[in-house]
């Protein structure tokens, strides 16, 4: 199903994924997108934390200036960001951030799929992104090397 989707997508497209080093090169190969046909954006956990922050501004440019008509939001298994949302490391990070900032960052708590879906929904609901842009949430399985479609945010 994912391959069928990828085959149908017309470039240019925007890809938002995690900063995880294990994805570098692997994901590009898996997507089989022609070189120079996609805009790759990366954040920890492929999460969008600010509704008008740098990532949303980049997506605004990608869709309204470069005319990307598809955004792939790609989370992955064994993601440190998802683990942080409930784990001990979260507590360790508190000391480095202003009051309340960590709670804001982890306003979406859950596994990789939940975070990816929440990100896709945030992008979908943003007035910055044209209605006609398709947003597809995907999960990359690091062990299997496979992409799974999570769900259609809006038909």
Q: Does 139 bind Zn ion (CB under 5 A)?
A: no
Q: Does 16 bind Zn ion (CB under 5 A)?
A: no
As given in the structure block, the two tokens for residue 116 are 């990816």
In whole angstroms, what is the distance from residue 52 CA to residue 115 CA? 18
Please report how close the Cβ of residue 76 comes to Zn ion at its closest, in angstroms.
Answer: 6
Q: Does 27 bind Zn ion (CB under 5 A)?
A: no
In whole angstroms, what is the distance from residue 49 CA to residue 56 CA? 9
Residue whose C-alpha is closest to residue 139's, from 9, 45, 62: 45
Q: Is the CB of 48 or the CB of 79 nearer to Zn ion? A: 79
Q: Does 55 bind Zn ion (CB under 5 A)?
A: no
When binding is defined by CB under 5 A, the residue of 6, 15, 20, 48 that contacts Zn ion is 20
Please report how close the Cβ of residue 37 comes to Zn ion at its closest, in angstroms.
Answer: 24
When binding is defined by CB under 5 A, the residue of 14, 15, 18, 105 that contacts Zn ion is 18
Q: Does 15 bind Zn ion (CB under 5 A)?
A: no
Q: In what order do the strands lie in the sheet with 13-18?
A: 38-43, 13-18, 70-76, 134-141, 146-149
Q: For residues 74-133, which are near Zn ion according to CB under 5 A? A: 79
In whole angstroms, what is the distance from residue 155 CA to residue 153 CA? 7
Please report how close the Cβ of residue 80 comes to Zn ion at its closest, in angstroms.
Answer: 6
Alpha-carbon distances, residue 148 vs 21, 30, 77, 138 (angstroms): 20, 12, 11, 6
Please report how close the Cβ of residue 19 comes to Zn ion at its closest, in angstroms.
Answer: 7
Q: Which residues bind Zn ion (CB under 5 A)?
A: 18, 20, 79
């Amino acid at each position: 199903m994912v391959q069928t989707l990828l085959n149908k997508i017309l470039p240019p497209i925007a890809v938002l994924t995690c900063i995880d080093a294990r994805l570098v090169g692997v994901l590009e190969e898996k997507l089989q997108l022609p070189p120079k046909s996609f805009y790759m954006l990366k954040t920890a956990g492929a999460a969008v934390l600010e509704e008008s922050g740098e990532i949303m501004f980049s997506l605004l440019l990608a869709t309204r200036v470069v005319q990307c008509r598809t955004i792939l939001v790609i989370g992955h298994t064994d993601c440190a960001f998802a683990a942080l949302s409930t784990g001990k490391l979260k507590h360790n990070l508190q000391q480095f951030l202003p009051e309340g900032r960590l709670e804001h960052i982890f306003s979406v708590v859950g596994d990789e799929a939940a975070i990816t879906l929440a990100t896709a929904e945030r992008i979908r609901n943003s007035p910055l992104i044209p209605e006609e842009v398709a947003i597809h949430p995907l999960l990359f399985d690091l062990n299997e090397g496979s992409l799974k479609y999570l769900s259609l945010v809006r038909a």
